[in-house]
Amino acid sequence: MNSESNGMANLKPVYNSKITCPVCDKNIEVTKVRSKSIRLIAQDEDFCPYYEECNPIYYEAWICSFCGYAAHNSVFEDASFMDRKLVNEKITPKWSSRSFTGERDIEQALDAFKIVLYNLVIRQAPSFEFARVCLRIAWLYRYKGDADEEKRFLRYAYDYYQKAYSNEPLGGGKMDEYSCIYIIGELARRLGEPEEALSWFERIISAAGQPEKKQKILPRLLENTREQIQMVRQAMQTGKRSV
């Protein structure tokens, strides 16, 4: 195909890509966002991103249209023997085949993430997986302006990140220890629990006082932590309990 006659401006921001479902072994298509279409313009303190054009968060929930297996795109191909068994026994028999490819609006993105969430429940997935998916569902509700649902899912994310932090190894390139502490603190702040928020943020400040730990903390994370501590203290002084 000639790239000039097919000018970049005419390309859709998303495209379909073929992969093999790790549960039913069928060839399936998933929709990805072209990297040229991803332009981050802002980010909230809990890492909720805002994009100029296409929001790649909408496309992070991958679903097999044949068997109903669904997961966050970063771990989709990691289904274990137990995951396969549970999907085969408990999801596929009730699943009616439908397509999830192509451009997604916010409602379709929410639907897709809720199918992932249902999969996590059936597969008894690690808390970290629940936390990540619940945080993204909360962000989708924030984009929609639905504050009640946003808060409900922020609360789930808060609980699951705490469980993940105390019970699960955080390595594997998923999230470093201090980012996890920071996000727990920030979720506490957003949920109107300033004392809890401070106690989590102060763990980072205290670790930053020890050279061997400080090198593991991203400079920007430390800067954000200091800003958030200021914000929580100011809010406590003015008697405001949450954002």
Binding residues vs Zn ion (CB under 5 A): 21, 23-24, 64, 66-67, 69
Cβ(102)–Cβ(54) under 8 Å? no
Residue number with CB closer to Zn ion (21 or 110): 21
Least distance from Zn ion to the Cβ atom of residue 59, Å: 18
Other beta carbons within 10 Å of 74: 13
Residue number with CB closer to Zn ion (23 or 133): 23
Residue number with CB closer to Zn ion (68 or 185): 68
Residue number with CB closer to Zn ion (87 or 175): 87
- Taking CA atoms, 57 is separated from 16, 49, 50, 72, 134, in Å, by 16, 8, 10, 10, 12
Least distance from Zn ion to the Cβ atom of residue 155, Å: 32
Helix H or strand E encompassing 81? helix 81-86
Closest CA to 172 of 85, 74, 99: 74
Beta partners for residue 32, in sequence order: 15
Least distance from Zn ion to the Cβ atom of residue 23, Å: 5
Least distance from Zn ion to the Cβ atom of residue 68, Å: 7
Least distance from Zn ion to the Cβ atom of residue 109, Å: 20
CB burial of 193-214 (b: ≥16 within 10 Å; e: otherwise) equals bbebbbebbebbeebbeeeeee
Residue number with CB closer to Zn ion (122 or 221): 122
Report residue 37 as tokens: 């279409």
